[in-house]
Structure 1
């Protein structure tokens, strides 16, 4: 599909809104200098330019290729990122449902197209009233994903910069810290997921809290209330709880020293937080009430963790990552320093602890490692405000990641808060990344004010360089050292180059303001080079592909009809994007009771992605499955009417499907109680 002028609308929308927000910051809060704003737009253009101005989509449509009914979908170059399947199969359908309800003037309470229905407002992954997703409400899902991603990046960059400026950093060091976090692993690797909202909003919460505690003007109180409300609506409870704890740690250092002023500041903070909590209660209270009924809660309660959603890539090839020579501690810590040491899931080979998104999201740039080391060895009296807190948070995250499995299991057993550690604590890498970015800014400012000795600088650089060499050379693929060796050793060379360039700038021109901007440029170049491939350019689409079986079904299905795909045909939830209802649900927030009821028709009960292995099961008819999509080579008995057949798959109609509302026969006492 060729480009047309309408393709620039998402980009123009983002630019105009960003300019309006920048004007508001200058008018009521703190301005963004033109060089910093230009840098933010430049990196955004590098990362998302084709999606914002060229009509391309950020959703991994290429991941559908090879499964019916998308067997003839043309391949893209480069291929889609296999780790991003959730963006198309989970996030996009939920976003579409919320958008449809809000544009129709309805409260987004219920997802009628998932299974036999499930809560929508109570599903945090739907992000029903998250401002960052509401900003993209005017756009269709294929375009809105890039717009939401752009706002997340700009928000993280802007308020990390402003927060560091208020901590005493100059423009150059603050820009370096902002780029380290805004382009760091957590935000860019998880860019399309709800937990990216937490990452994007966290600097805003810190900035507004700092202003409210120290200045206390009405505008500051309003900003803190609004930012805290948006934070509570982030859509990822796990990182939200951690973020609130980190916010309190930073806020403790912002309280005034004297008693009356301290009490007044604390009172203002409590009022703002109480208002934010009350304003968002209609959203989070249903989530709290519904959570115990979900698959996610019951998995965590059974101490299964949530490790199966994204399996280690090599596990699919018969290799267990735990069989490698690297220790559990190395697999937890090394990717924070050397993100490609254990391969890269983007390129189909990874032998670390889980996958690249989970393990390497704490990486904030090689220069950040050096500057954080400088902050660590600096005398305590020379540290800037907040450095000790950032160091403590970073140390705490590393200690959490170092816990053995027994220790992590014990944390998961903690009442109420145990779910925070469901992923082995790896979501805390968000705050390790922010801590490193914060230390990047303050460390660079400290080096500018009081340059470190060249001997100390050289010693730290040699130590980090040796650590990088060990990380890459000591952890090849356990079965075949040549797998991804070009990528791994190539990235060792890149990191050593960035380390050397940063060291030389700090050693020979530490008091030049241009040096601080040079370090910022090095960080931006490295992080864009590393993370841009995680978001490959997908096709230029106006709408999702509609192969013949789906096209025919959309034309003849009656409102309320339900379908089901057998085997791996039409992945669960995808039907929602076509306005169709699917009995299968792929969602950790799915009702656990419904999934148990559906189990007799499944070939993999208890798995993340349900697979229908018994299409003739009367259970499916009882649940109202009137339409079946199957691979083209499968034939069903005459009781199933063949409606469409071809290389993309077959569409069958089932005559004995129950309507959505029917009288429960006393002999069917195992029927679903949600509709009768």
Structure 2
């Protein structure tokens, strides 16, 4: 019976990833913004189609100019193993050492020899999304979330804003390491030393092969903080034998990380050496050293406005524009990808409701703390950026990319809250009151934002605001109905299936294409 449930869960997650990539499966298409070539390169302007007006998404220049070009050159072109040097970039430049070429990423090695790079890039994206859902589901199963609770968290993570917006970048390849890190950490805490050790080694190796050291740093830092919180929680509950409980998990986690780094040394050492010559690294270091001192507790109106706007994009995606919709100019304060944190209305509300149940689970408390810190980094909140952000390595990293950690935590907490919400023995009027307050608060924010669009003198913006509000109301009301059904005693499986289907439709409607 347990094996049947596992097969069904994996099948559902694979089917959802296939749905998000159905043109790749059924139309022989691939994932590429090649139409940008007609704007970027003079050689292509002469042969662009007569009906070409503009590129569909002007933010996707990196995949076209770098990642797909590198893959073609390495797997089908003139560059040969071990891909150390690219003589075709300017006067020549390191290729393996730039990390983002990621020639040893396992999905590339699996797919490209079978399909070629042009079609294979779409398959790599599909498999990457499916693997993200599968690994998240397995981590949630490790901490006790089974059935619809685990599937909800997996669906919300695999198709969240970060995973979709950055899908063609190596960031999401490295993001696969995050659930592996936490899964391994939980195994170590449960004294399952061998499997926990191997999972952490695999997480480091996969992250190194993924091709984005900064994201590997963020995931490793998040995993270390998670493990530290879990251990501290355990020490608080069992104060007598705290030294014995700390030594083995911490030592094995560190040893596993070191082993993973040694296995990946051929990838990491050239990248570290190349990084020493990076102008961006030098500029960020100089900025951190010359930044004017300011008390971390001082919060300005601009700080509050930035946090408010960031939170709005998690509630109403595209509220400040979307380059795919031809509306890039609505908000020039940030890159669209940097604010793509939508996890769906149902997961958003349940993730907030998880704070109500914080006392019931140690791992959920760790994720709540990690989520709060990540949100501070994402919104550039002074309490976080002027303290933790001033630490070595953090002070030269783009910490807004902690958006990955925020999305992961919120998706996992949504599954946790759904499980607690349905537990008949723990029903409480306070639960219903908390859920109602969260729903009303989200509704008030959405209506307030809609009023801005409604007052716009441009019909296209007013129409966009109306469409966004309809989408929000549809899935808010649907989520409320399913939550009500979930409080009933008998149709638990029905409610869980409806909630997962609702979350999948919501994310498909926002993030497909």
> Into which bin does the TM-score normalised by the smaller protein fall?
0.7 to 0.9
CA distances 1:634-659 after superposition (whole Å, capped 9, x unpaired): xxxxxxxxxxxxxxxxxxxxxxxxxx
Give the structure 1 partner of residue 217 of structure 2. Answer: 241
Question: Do residues 365 (structure 1) and 344 (structure 2) align?
Answer: yes
Once the two structures are superposed, residues 102-158 of structure 1 have per-residue CA deviations (whole angstroms, 9 ceiling, x without a partner) of 995x32211111111111111011113222333333142212211221221111100
Aligned pair partner of 1:290 in 267, 274, 279: 274
1:171 partnered with 2:147: yes
Tell me the residue number matched to 1:114. Answer: 89
Q: Distance in 2 between matches of 1:82 and 1:524?
A: 27
Query: Are the structure 2 counterparts of residues 130 and 32 from structure 1 closer, same or farther at C-alpha, using a change threshold of 3 Å?
Result: farther
Which residue is 1:126 aligned to?
101
After superposition, the Cα gap between the structure-2 partners of 1:446 and 1:409, relative to the gap in structure 1 and judged at 3 Å, is: closer
Report which stretch shifted further, 230-239 or 247-256. 247-256
Q: Distance in 2 between matches of 1:515 and 1:181?
A: 20
Whether contact under 8 Å (1:198, 1:234) holds in the other structure is: yes
Shift of 1:365: 0.9
User: What residue ranges of structure 2 are gaps of 5+ in the alignment?
Assistant: 289-301
Contact 2:13 2:133 in 1 (8 A): yes
Contact 1:371 1:443 in 2 (8 A): yes
**Equivalent residue for 2:208?**
232
SS of match in other structure, 2:119: helix
**For structure 1, which segment, 77-86 or 45-54, has the greater mean C-alpha deviation from structure 2 after superposition?**
77-86
Q: CA deviation at 1:477?
A: 9.3
2:395 matched residue in structure 1: 418
Q: Does 1:142 align with 2:122?
A: no
Matched, 1:458 2:436: yes
In structure 2, distance between residues paired with 1:59 and 1:111? 22
Aligned pair partner of 2:467 in 481, 486, 490 = 490
What displacement does 1:405 show? 9.0
Q: CA deviation at 1:432?
A: 1.0
1:94 aligns with 2:36: no
Q: What residue is the counterpart of 2:483 in the other structure? A: 506
Assess if the C-alpha contact under 8 Å between 2:354 and 2:413 holds in 1: yes
What is the 5 A alignment of 1:258-277? 258=241, 259-260=243-244, 262-277=246-261
- Name the residue aligned to 2:33: 60
Give 3-state SS (helix, strand or coil) of 2:168's partner. coil
Contact 1:187–1:200 (CA<8 Å) still a contact in 2? Answer: no
Question: For 1:76 and 1:532, how far apart are their aligned partners in 2?
Answer: 22
Q: Is the 8 A contact 2:485 2:495 kept in 1?
A: no
Residues 526 and 267 from structure 1, CA distance in 2 versus in 1: closer, same or farther, beyond 3 angstroms?
same
1:444–1:431 distance in 2 versus 1, CA, 3 Å: same
The offset of 1:330, in angstroms, is: 2.9
Q: Is the 8 A contact 2:104 2:209 kept in 1?
A: yes
- Per-residue CA deviations over 1:601-650 (Å, capped at 9, x if unaligned) read xxxxxxxxxxxxxxxxxxxxxxxxxxxxxxxxxxxxxxxxxxxxxxxxxx
CA distance in 1, matches of 2:418, 2:402: 24
Q: 1:333 to 1:481 in 2, by over 3 A?
A: farther
Deviations 1:205-229 (A, max 9, x none): 2223322442425344333322221
In the other structure, the counterpart of 2:364 is 387
Q: Indicate the structure with greater strand content.
A: 1
CA distance in 1, matches of 2:386, 2:486: 49
Residue 505 of structure 2: which of 503, 510, 525 is its match?
525
Q: Which residue of 2 aligns with 1:47?
A: 20
Distance 2:283 2:437 in 1: 47
Alignment match, 1:642: none
CA distance in 1 between partners of 2:453 and 2:261 (Å): 47
How far the C-alpha of 1:441 sits from its partner, in A, is 0.6
Q: Give the aligned partner of residue 419 of structure 2.
A: 445
CA radius of gyration, larger in: 1
Regions of 4+ moved over 4 Å: 75-79, 100-104, 253-259, 404-415, 475-478
| Structure having the larger proportion of residues in helix | 2
Q: Once the 2 structures are TM-superposed, how far is the Cα of residue 50 of structure 1 from its aligned partner?
A: 1.8
Could you tell me how far 1:362 is from its partner in structure 2? 1.5
Other-structure match for 2:312: 334
Q: Which runs of 5+ in 1 are unaligned?
A: 1-25, 305-323, 534-676
Q: Which residue of 1 aligns with 2:293?
A: none
Q: Is contact 1:57–1:143 with CA below 8 Å preserved after alignment?
A: yes
- C-alpha distance 79-40 of structure 1, shift in aligned 2 (>3 A): farther
User: Does the CA contact (< 8 Å) of 2:376 and 2:384 recur in 1?
Assistant: no
**How do 1:298-377 and structure 2 match up within 5 A?**
298-301=282-285, 303=287, 327-350=305-328, 351-352=330-331, 353-359=333-339, 361-377=340-356
State the TM-score, normalizing by the size of structure 2.
0.84
Partner deviation per Cα, 1:171-229 (whole Å, 9 max, x = no partner): 10110010000010000111000111122231122223322442425344333322221
Q: Is the 8 A contact 2:177 2:203 kept in 1?
A: yes
Whether the 8 Å contact between 2:187 and 2:195 is mirrored in structure 1 is no
Whole-Å separation in 2 of the counterparts to 1:407 and 1:452: 35
- 1:294 CA displacement: 2.3
**Aligned pair in 2 of structure 1 residues 77, 174: CA closer, same or farther (>3 Å)?**
farther
- Measured on the aligned residues, the alpha-carbon RMSD in Å equals 3.1
In the alignment, is the contact (CA less than 8 A) between 2:454 and 2:462 conserved in 1?
A: yes
The answer to whether the 8 A contact 1:205-1:231 is kept is: no
8 Å CA contact retained: 2:133, 2:155: yes
What is the alpha-carbon distance in structure 2 between the residues aligned to residue 485 and residue 216 of structure 1? Answer: 56
Are the structure 2 counterparts of residues 416 and 249 from structure 1 closer, same or farther at C-alpha, using a change threshold of 3 Å? closer
Mapped partners of 1:484, 1:279: distance in 2: 52
CA positional deviation for 1:301: 3.9
Q: Counterpart of 1:18? A: none
Report if the CA contact (8 A) 1:173-1:517 is conserved.
no
Map 1:529-608 onto structure 2 (within 5 A): 529-533=509-513
Q: Which deviates further from its counterpart, 465-474 or 161-170?
A: 465-474
In 2, Cα distance between equivalents of 1:62 and 1:86:
13
The Cα shift of 1:412 comes to 7.4
- How many residues were matched structurally? 478
> Distance between the aligned counterparts of 2:437 and 2:386, measured in 1?
39
For the residue of structure 2 that corresponds to 1:296, the secondary structure is: helix
Q: Conserved in 1, the CA contact under 8 Å of 2:156 and 2:344?
A: yes
